[in-house]
Structure 1
Amino acid sequence: MSIFKNIFTFFLIFLFLLSCTSSQKIATLKPDPDDATPLVYESIPSFINLPISVKLKDVEHQTNALLNGLIYEDNNIEDDNIEMKIWKLAPITIENNPENSNGSIKTVLPLKAIISYRIGTKTLGVSLYKTKEFNLNGKVTLVSDVSLSNWKLSTKTQLKSLDWNESPTTTILGKSVPVTYLMNPTIKIFRSKIEKSIDAAIDKSMDFKPNVLLAIEKICTPFLMNEAYESWLQVNPIEIYSTNAKLKNDTFLMEMGMKCTMGTWIGKQPQSKYDSSKIVLKPVTKIPNQISANVTAVSTYAEASKIMTKNFAGQEYGSGNKKIRVQNVSIWHKNDKMVIALDVLGSVNGTIYLTGFPQYNTQTKELYFDKLDYALDTKNKLIRTANWLAQGLILRKIQESCRYSIIPNIEEGKKSMMKYLQNYSPMSGVFVNGKIENVEFQKIQLTNNAIIAFVKINGAINVAVDGLK
């Protein structure tokens, strides 16, 4: 009986030792990553068309905001024998001039004016002057040829008519006396002053450059495209182009284009690189009507490792009772190659290292690793301890798990970007609309700490100004 117990105990110990040796441990040398350096990559400029429309109502709003109360004053009677003060009595109205199809605006200005007109001579040092003060209360209609150049609206105004609410008067012996017959000829003398005051006011109030630069700053602030993947889109402007504006119906239309670089970042929100002082504004005669955007998608190796680990989840490699499961994946860069570290459990425990070149298949729209093979030290140790794992068949199966389609990513990216092309308002009164026609994957570039994917986007963008403050 004791002999039987000894044999049984020996058998259990043998099975235990056998079970311990059936999972072989492998200790391989880790290919050290290249030294980390600042992220520098080849950036292809993009050209984005941004047609701008500004409604006349917004021009009217801005003009009224700046012209209030006393809008013109000339206290020097010595230069032309006229002193003048003009007050705005009610809001100015600005509309398209229906009598001119070439693009001009009609401005109606309700005003009150006090004009001092000096008549006389100066002889032998003796001044023989007589000054008359005229009071006006009426409505001036002006017609202006307009242009919008270098982001500033300028006008060339002519007084078309002056309709009196009350007859122009002057004070004689303390009483207001109508002097319409005297005032109408006098209009010719000071009408140029009224015209110039309107031109100066519109010129001062209608500088759109600060508004445009503020809108561009808002657009260039990195914004979250996908919360799950923490992906951010960043636009960095280089140059801004614009054509002269044209007036159509009740709207100014101006073609604008922006030369910029674009990139997507994975992880925390990147800092904005926008600097208005470095923006160059260039006048041009014509701008293409399509977007041609080259977007760089930046994925750090740490983030790429997380995605690859998900791809290997639940997968087993091998046959029969010789199998491994991948528990974790780490990726880094070494001598222009990708190193893929697989932490495995099963018939072999430890870490095996693969190397290969990331490539893109334009037909299947898949990323894959070309010339994928075990790192030299890993291969030597597998041949000695687990030759079945070193065989090409299992390596090819592992390689299949390192291949994945980017079609869902492209579609998800288009869907995320469209949120910012459907009446997106980066600031009050500015609305962005557009469309994306197609997205083309271009190439992959490796840096010491990230994978850079280059994507080309074609489409159109429209920026409307409505209710500008």
Structure 2
Amino acid sequence: MLKKNSIKISILRFSLLGFLVFTFEACKTLQIEKPRESYIPTNLAPASSELPLQVSIDIQKLQNTVNKKMTGLLFDGDKINNQDLSVKIWKAQNFTFSIKNNVIEYRVPLKLWTRFAWNVQKFGITIGDNYEANGSLALTYKTTIEIDKNWKLVSKTASSGFQWIETPKLNVVGVQVPVTPLANLALSKSEQLISDQIDATLQQMVDIKKYVSMAWNETQKPMQVNEANNLWVRITPKDLYISPFQTIGQKLNISIALSALIESYMGAKPNENKATPLPAFKLAQRTAQDFNLNIAADATYAKISEMAKAQLVNKTFSEGKKTITITDLSLFGSEGKPVFMADVIGSIKGRIYFTGNLVYNAEKIAIEVENPSFDMQTKNVLAKSANWLLNGMIIKKITPYLTYSVKQELDELKADANKTLSNYKIYDGITLIGKLNSMNVQSVTLVPGAVRLNANVKGKIALKVDELNF
């Protein structure tokens, strides 16, 4: 009887031990070392780009300024050609301008006074005296505008003729004195003076080099394009090319292509480069290409984790009779790869870590995880206590829930940049105006706190000199 009781106790002990072992194995809490959080330093690649520099001259304003500067008596000459000939020329009305490309045409209404000595013989009698005559005429001039190698505006004005409005005539004792040839002689001497005055006035008023130098220097200062992402742009100009002048209506447009290296920075404001001097003038039959810039947008780990948790927390995944339920999930970076940290319960309990390759899906405008796998420490522990997880079936079921749409981040980046570029004042009188059109994500990297989308954007951007002050 004692022996029979002893056998029953042994069986009971064995059953209890088996139950405890089964329970321990079924609910074993995993102890896995967390991968070290680390990040590989990355920089946005600089991009070679071109910015048009638009300088325009309002011909109406130029006309008004010339009219203000050139008033009253324009020419006063005595003893012209060593003859007893004096001429005075006044401005009769405002000058009027018209322009085509780099040629300005003027109509210059003038009043003419001349005094001269005139002798004539009639019936054997010499008649002579000093006479005065008045008349009015309209001169026409053409000014060709160019820029020399030192960025100085060079204007060459030449007369293209004149038309008498009121021809000066004088009758003396029935003899008509030929005043017109004398007036023509006087005009031939005064035209060059008027041409020189027009050239001097234009060159004093239109200081192209001042504005080009200002734009060249001010663009080299870092500009904040996106405040939310703390995105900065630094422009290092390399060269300038100017296209032939063009006119649109009453505007003379001077188009300059600024070739530059565009650098983008996330975070602190970058240092200013050592200023490079303004290069010599170069004329080129070309226009500036599309603006090209590398920028970045950040999708924070917190946002990605929030999205993933909304879909995965309390969701159960099974493999045969084995199951795990996710209770929490978060994300960080390690050696250039994402690490997902998941708290689980079920056939195992504890915290597991898995990783993969982050890629950008252009069709979905989303980041995805490819080639998911457990990290090395997790693999080592699972090989001893939960080998059934290593076949990867459950982790592959989890992976689709980790896709994160970045459309909002990219749209916000583009919208914020366009808002800034719509009217970015670089300096008084110089504005950066433009719009980004296309955006192409080039790569995905991990930085502290976020997944960074490195994108190339193209658009139409120009530096505009608001107005030349005459």
Same fold, judged at TM 0.5 (above): yes
The CA distance in 2 between the partners of 1:325 and 1:143, in whole Å, is 84
Q: What does 1:141-290 correspond to in 2, within 5 Å? A: 142-148=141-147, 152-159=152-159, 185-189=185-189, 191-215=191-215, 217=218, 221-225=222-226, 229-230=228-229, 232=231, 234=233, 236-238=235-237, 239-262=239-262, 265-267=265-267, 270-271=269-270, 273=272, 277-278=276-277, 280=279, 283-288=282-287, 290=289
Quick one: structure 1 residues 279 and 343, their matched pair in 2 at CA, closer, same or farther if it must change by over 3 Å? Answer: farther
SS of residue matched to 2:373? strand
- What is the root-mean-square deviation in Å for CA atoms of aligned residues? 5.6
One-letter code aligned to 2:259: K
SS of residue matched to 1:319? strand
2:380 corresponds to 1:375: no
Q: Is contact 1:106–1:141 with CA below 8 Å preserved after alignment? A: yes
Tell me how far 1:364 sits from its aligned partner: 3.7
The CA distance in 2 between the partners of 1:356 and 1:279, in whole Å, is 50
Tell me how far 1:313 sits from its aligned partner: 3.8
The CA distance in 2 between the partners of 1:200 and 1:231, in whole Å, is 48
Quick one: structure 1 residues 103 and 52, their matched pair in 2 at CA, closer, same or farther if it must change by over 3 Å? Answer: closer
Q: What does 1:384-399 correspond to in 2, within 5 Å? A: 384=384, 392-399=392-399
Quick one: structure 1 residues 109 and 444, their matched pair in 2 at CA, closer, same or farther if it must change by over 3 Å? Answer: farther
Q: What does 1:62-81 correspond to in 2, within 5 Å? A: none
Q: What does 1:11-30 correspond to in 2, within 5 Å? A: 24=29, 26-30=31-35
The CA distance in 2 between the partners of 1:63 and 1:349, in whole Å, is 88
One-letter code aligned to 2:247: L
SS of residue matched to 2:381? helix
Residue of 293, 306, 317 corresponding to 1:319: 317
SS of residue matched to 2:310? coil
Residue of 301, 324, 346 corresponding to 1:305: 301
Tell me how far 1:57 sits from its aligned partner: 3.4
Quick one: structure 1 residues 424 and 43, their matched pair in 2 at CA, closer, same or farther if it must change by over 3 Å? Answer: closer
One-letter code aligned to 1:399: T
The CA distance in 1 between the partners of 2:67 and 2:339, in whole Å, is 66
Tell me how far 1:144 sits from its aligned partner: 0.9
Match of 1:331 in 2: 333
Tell me how far 1:105 sits from its aligned partner: 1.4
Tell me how far 1:349 sits from its aligned partner: 7.9
The CA distance in 1 between the partners of 2:369 and 2:327, in whole Å, is 20
Match of 1:126 in 2: none
| Deviation by residue 1:76-135 (Cα, 9 ceiling, x = unmatched) | xxxx9xxxxx999999765437xxxx75213578999xxxxxxxxxxxxxxxxxxxxxxx
Quick one: structure 1 residues 285 and 35, their matched pair in 2 at CA, closer, same or farther if it must change by over 3 Å? Answer: closer
Quick one: structure 1 residues 70 and 283, their matched pair in 2 at CA, closer, same or farther if it must change by over 3 Å? Answer: farther
| Deviation by residue 1:422-452 (Cα, 9 ceiling, x = unmatched) | 576655475835572x433344567999846
Tell me how far 1:251 sits from its aligned partner: 1.8
One-letter code aligned to 1:236: I
2:46 corresponds to 1:43: yes
The CA distance in 1 between the partners of 2:372 and 2:35, in whole Å, is 17
Aligned length: 402
2:356 corresponds to 1:360: no
Q: Is contact 2:338–2:446 with CA below 8 Å preserved after alignment? A: no
The CA distance in 2 between the partners of 1:364 and 1:249, in whole Å, is 47
The CA distance in 2 between the partners of 1:70 and 1:277, in whole Å, is 46
The CA distance in 1 between the partners of 2:67 and 2:351, in whole Å, is 73
Match of 1:131 in 2: none
How does the TM-score come out when normalised to structure 2? 0.62
Quick one: structure 1 residues 193 and 384, their matched pair in 2 at CA, closer, same or farther if it must change by over 3 Å? Answer: farther
SS of residue matched to 1:379? helix
Tell me how far 1:157 sits from its aligned partner: 0.7
The CA distance in 2 between the partners of 1:145 and 1:91, in whole Å, is 21
Tell me how far 1:63 sits from its aligned partner: 6.3
SS of residue matched to 1:378? helix
2:38 corresponds to 1:33: yes
Q: Whose Rg is larger? A: 2
One-letter code aligned to 2:60: K
How does the TM-score come out when normalised to structure 1? 0.62
Tell me how far 1:214 sits from its aligned partner: 3.8
Structure 1 residue runs without a partner (length 5+): 1-17, 74-79, 81-85, 113-136, 168-178
Match of 1:453 in 2: 454
Structure 2 residue runs without a partner (length 5+): 1-22, 76-81, 83-88, 112-135, 169-178
The CA distance in 1 between the partners of 2:461 and 2:337, in whole Å, is 38
Quick one: structure 1 residues 431 and 325, their matched pair in 2 at CA, closer, same or farther if it must change by over 3 Å? Answer: same
Quick one: structure 1 residues 108 and 343, their matched pair in 2 at CA, closer, same or farther if it must change by over 3 Å? Answer: farther
SS of residue matched to 1:314? helix
